[in-house]
Structure 1
């Protein structure tokens, strides 16, 4: 891989698919995708960056891993319904945490997995279509 970020929907999904393929080819432990805090398209992320970490999605073998709050969990359940071969396998909500860690089994090709990851940022985390995402670890 030679590029690690994208902000155009088509480029993001290609980036994610390439990262998934690289993850599989390298047999790495996992890959991590992060998006900026900005959900309204103005690309001013300074105000939110100190309050909470940037939204992220990890993928390992055939499992997505992400953290969500209660509203995001409802939206994630709706999104998983759009992907019939995917299923939520594990929900963990430790008392000291303010959200839920979710593990989703997703056996599919790199393009379908990339589409799902992009939709997590759009549908679950509420980002606009021009959000910037980075593959931060493969």
Structure 2
């Protein structure tokens, strides 16, 4: 990979697909995608959302409302399924693991839609591949 961020839909999906390919080629433990924190969406003290991918599984933290939106999004990706949900008492949300066996482009499309549909980012949000 030669670039690590993008803020246009086509370029983001290309970046995410390249990150998946690099992750698979390198057999790295995981890849992480992060976005800017948006105080209007994330609240004052909330961190910016992130998505990790490893072993054909997406991992993300979601609030109850975000969990509902993630479940709705999965109806458009029938080959993906929720594998695990954990809601520790000390946490205010749910850690969600979604099994996703697909090609890099389909995985990239899903990751982009997570930030748009689940986390409520605008179409021109900037994303970074923070770890591969």
- Give the TM interval when normalised to the shorter protein: over 0.9
What is the 5 A alignment of 1:9-24? 9-24=9-24
Distance 2:102 2:33 in 1: 18
**Over aligned residue pairs, what C-alpha RMSD do you find?**
1.7
State the 4+ residue runs in structure 1 displaced beyond 3 angstroms: none
Q: Deviations over 1:62-92 (max 9, x none)?
A: 0000000000000000001110100001000
Equivalent residue for 2:76?
82
1:53 shift after superposition: 1.4
Instruction: Determine if contact 1:39/1:126 at 8 Å carries over to the other structure.
Output: no
1:19 shift after superposition: 0.2
Equivalent residue for 2:89?
95
Equivalent residue for 1:7?
7
Q: Deviations over 1:27-50 (max 9, x none)?
A: 00000000112387xxxx9x95x6
Unaligned runs of 5+ in 2: none
Instruction: Determine if contact 2:6/2:12 at 8 Å carries over to the other structure.
Output: yes
Equivalent residue for 2:65?
71
Query: Helix, strand or coil: the match of 2:96?
Result: strand
For the pair 1:133 / 2:92, whether they are aligned, the reply is no
Distance 1:127 1:37 in 2: 10
| Normalised TM-score (structure 2) | 0.96
Equivalent residue for 2:49?
55
